[in-house]
Amino acid sequence: MANLSDLIISHPEVRSYVDLERLVIEAAKSGMILLYMDLKPDFPDTPRDWQKRLELAFYKADTPKGIRT
């Protein structure tokens, strides 16, 4: 399990919500099985539905392509 804040702190190169979404996808692909959304990302481009979008990106990144809907 990892906190979203830990991902952001450990990757200072993340400067936008889009970068964060890519990082979350990479974390899921590398074997992370649980991501706790412990804070709202403080980027100017963070969408209102940021939590849903990050959860979906995390889930889909680790789902085999043949199973995705």
pTM listed for this prediction: 0.85
DSSP 17: H
Residue 8 pLDDT more than 70?
Answer: yes
Please name which of 61, 46, 55 lies closest in space to residue 16, comparing C-alpha atoms.
Answer: 46
pLDDT band at 68 (very low <50, low <70, confident <90, very high): very low
Which tens digits make up the pLDDT trace of 22-56?
999 999 999 998 999 999 999 999 999 999 999 99
Other C-beta atoms within 10 Å of 42: how many?
8
Burial of 30 (0-12, 13-18, 19+ CB in 10 A): exposed
Give the chain's length: 69
Instruction: Give the rounded distance of the alpha carbon of 62 from its chain centre.
Output: 12
